[in-house]
Amino acid sequence: MRAAIQSGFRPQRRGLVALASALLLVCSGAWAYEGRVVKVINGDTVVVAAQGKQSTLRLAEIAAPKPGQAFSDEARRALAGLCMNAPVQVTPLDDPYGNAVARVTCQGRDAGEAQVRGGMAWVFREFSQNPGPLYQMEQDAQAAKRGLWAEAAPQPPWEFGKRDRDSARR
């Protein structure tokens, strides 16, 4: 490297920072990429276009109301307002069931956190860190009666879906 510098070669600082960041992500087992949200399916699922491909991604650690459930449309609109057609940073995560799950950052904000903070989603307890910052955000939204917490007894989507499955078995 010393010979390269003496010969006049000067590595660009931005390039080195990007390389160091990429190596850190690879070494930590995580990797990230940039794309654009081209569709919002519901309050916790988006379609991201990147490098000529489209991927359907669930937002990590949250669960939004399902279609037909109270606040489903509001949750979808809130996520669309933050992410639709926006450039995004996607960090895929491991999922024991093989689903495409990721942390998605839109306009500098973690989309999952924004949904929970706005009362548009629950913390998906089965797949979240306990205690984690999402739990406090959910408690704050509940105390302020934001979004779905304005309802007397909002039903989490995992219970809503279970009711449908149980009635189909009968």
pTM of the predicted model over 0.75: yes
- What stretch of H or E contains 62? strand 62-63
Report the share of the chain in percent with pLDDT over 70.
Answer: 74
pLDDT band at 169 (very low <50, low <70, confident <90, very high): low
The pLDDT of 127-139, averaged and rounded, is: 81
Q: Angle 52-57-135 (CA atoms, 0-180°, nearest 5)?
A: 145
Residues 88 and 39 sit within 8 Å (Cβ to Cβ): no
Residues 111 and 48 sit within 8 Å (Cβ to Cβ): no
pLDDT band at 96 (very low <50, low <70, confident <90, very high): confident
Nearest alpha-carbon partner for 148 in 67, 68, 44, 72: 72
Q: What is the pLDDT of residue 127?
A: 67
Q: Is the pLDDT of residue 88 over 50?
A: yes
- What stretch of H or E contains 22? helix 13-27
